Chain A
Amino acid sequence: MTEWLALILVVMMLAAALAVVLVPNLVGAIAASSAVSLVVAVIFVVLRAPDVAMTEAAVGAGLSAAVLGLGVRRLGLWKLNEGKKDDA
């Protein structure tokens, strides 16, 4: 059962990772990247590595989103195209 769960989670992680690359909007890409690290943390939990999962959760969920968001804003690449659709 654990193998199947891990396989489904890996597919989800790959979908989110593809979204990071394919989404043209940087804000959406940051959201997708935080989702990637989120699913990776669950994969580590399912594979019974709680310490690695905790590190991944700490760095991936909180800090990378904060650092990426502030960095993108500082660089002036921060745009929201609310009107148009940016389908991946």
Chain B
Amino acid sequence: MSIRTEPMTINIGPQHPSTHGVFRLRVTFDGEDIIEAEPILGYLHRGTEKLAEERNYVQIVTLTDRLDYTASMTNNQAYCLAVEKLLEVEAPLRAKYLRTMTAELQRIASHLIAVGFFLQELGTFGGTPLMYAFRARERILDMFEMLCGARITLSYMRPGGVFWDPPSEFWSSLDEFLKEFPSDLAEMEDLLLNNEILMVRTREVSPLSAEEAINNSVSGPVLRASGVKMDLRVMDPYDAYSMVDFDVPIGSIGDNYDRFWVRMQEVRQSLRIIEQCVDQIEPGDYRLDLPKVLRAPEGTESYGKVEAPKGELGFYLFSDGGISPYRMKIRSPSLINLSVIDRLLVGWKLADMIVSLGSIDINMGEVDR
């Protein structure tokens, strides 16, 4: 005799402690098992693409801050690269190094948040690892405040460089950070990287094969965790990435643990990149002498992309010769990584759902734009 069960549909979100913002997931459960999952988006839709059509090229930089608000620096970078491609200019060397450095700092900050929340969703009470992650991230945010006066919505970069040279105290605190952060990171790794409970919770849970990952266009750590050797920093070097040496962690089967592990390793590689940038950077111009109101030639288009912490972030710009882009399309990694969510969830349990969602590391500002 079998037990008669009835599927139960629950809306996870938009108000839920672990949906990373106002995200709604309509999930049908059979007991604890998930039999259907559908993401429902749009609670944070602000129409960034439409707003961009009304603003000039520099003003849009402030809009890009608000996409992935845990990684504004890389958003700025992707956008500025797109505009530079459109104008066919190139930032000065010092600006390139500054951008690379700050983008990598931002990657550390973003990955710390991702890892912290991932562990929080595994259920460490009150988020002890999250607090440790925030403690380290705080120092990065402090440096960003020195750099550009804001901590989250940075607007540090401009088309043609960065808005200003870092102050002298930035360099000393960066040195201090580079010296002290590895031990903080080692502490976090000691805390949970090889923890048995974490292992049994994440190993072989929600695996994503390489074929599936490619077919679903996922990018960034999620793609690399599946074993696909793809990193835009290496494959299509922008800014100063061709001048630094770093390794790329590749996962094996793309389960939750691999995604977590790849992020943890990437933080170490980011540190290496920053160290090399600090060694290599030389005095020089930090910004091109471009007019305040930029105009791109009519009919030109460009697609600027970077390896953002969450994946491939691209800006497609089309200019009609005016002071603002005719069309701006944001290829947001969070949205496209999210298209794989139903595959990851179906067949797993309620507790795994939250963890898988955390392992993709979405950011609603970027999903809904």
Q: Are A and B genuine complex partners?
A: no
Residue positions of B touching A, CB distance < 8 A: none
Mark A residues whose CB is within 8 Å of B. none
